Structure 1
Amino acid sequence: VELDWETEAEWRELYGIVREGNPPSVSRFNNAMRLCLRAVQAGLGFKGVHRGLDLLALMQACGVAPNLRTFNAFICICAAAGAQGSTVALDYGVRVVELMRRVGVTPGLKAATRLLSALVSLDSPSSEPVANMERALSFLTLMRESGVELD
């Protein structure tokens, strides 16, 4: 999977640092996540989600724990790709929020709202609007259970 040159350059640099045995900081990974989000917002869709998943896997391999910014950035990546029609991206976003709840981390309101908005506005065949609304309502319940303060 290849994205824009800036995101790919950051990925290669991160990977090179890891190969040298020096785990990058969580801030460095978060910057790479932001680049993935920007690539998705530029229309690259699920490719950005794929690269975000690669980053999460690389973090795990390095023993670098994701923080709230990491999770929120990935949720925003999934929401942006979902707004472009990727239901798989939305599923990944929901799974990350579920994971956050299990480990006691509350997602940011902005990130959770973006994902909820993408779930609600998901274009689908006329036979599925009820299923999409049920997914959105289920996610709203998950948000509440995760401690997201809804306004």
Structure 2
Amino acid sequence: MAPLTVFDLLTLHDFAGDLPAGWLHRLAVAGRPVFYRAGTRLFREDAAAERLWLVHSGLVAIDFHVPGRGDIVIETIGPGEVLGWSWLRPPHRWHFGAVVADDLRAVELDAHVVRELMAEAPDFGLEISGRLLDVVAGRLQSARHRLVELYAYPGDPTRQEAEG
């Protein structure tokens, strides 16, 4: 059995699978299949954001550095999800860090090439931007839920009101 091409892998991913074939072929030029072992640091906060990943298997921990406490994990990204959106807008620097938590298989896309494709084809650019906005909105919603869980406790009258 022949290995899957980048085009094949894109068609199997939630983020890109329903894009028109022509767009997938163009996007495939920017990508390559990758495998990273657990413990591999993909990027650090404030480094140049030059890649994005469409995760097929494994887990990636998104973190940020807290002086005196080290790297604090704030979210975990898994299969079917996208890692990286900081490459989309200047200054193209990571807002957080990321380390592979469980062996990772993904399509790694060159952000510079994707930005060029988006500029060349405005319809494609609008669609990719919208999908990435959905990713960002989902992350914000997840952060909101985590904050509610963190600060909610049995004596909290707002929690009792919501449950009762």
Greater relative contact order structure (CA < 8 Å, 6+ sep): 2
Instruction: Give the shorter-chain TM-score range.
Output: under 0.3
Higher helix fraction (1 or 2): 1
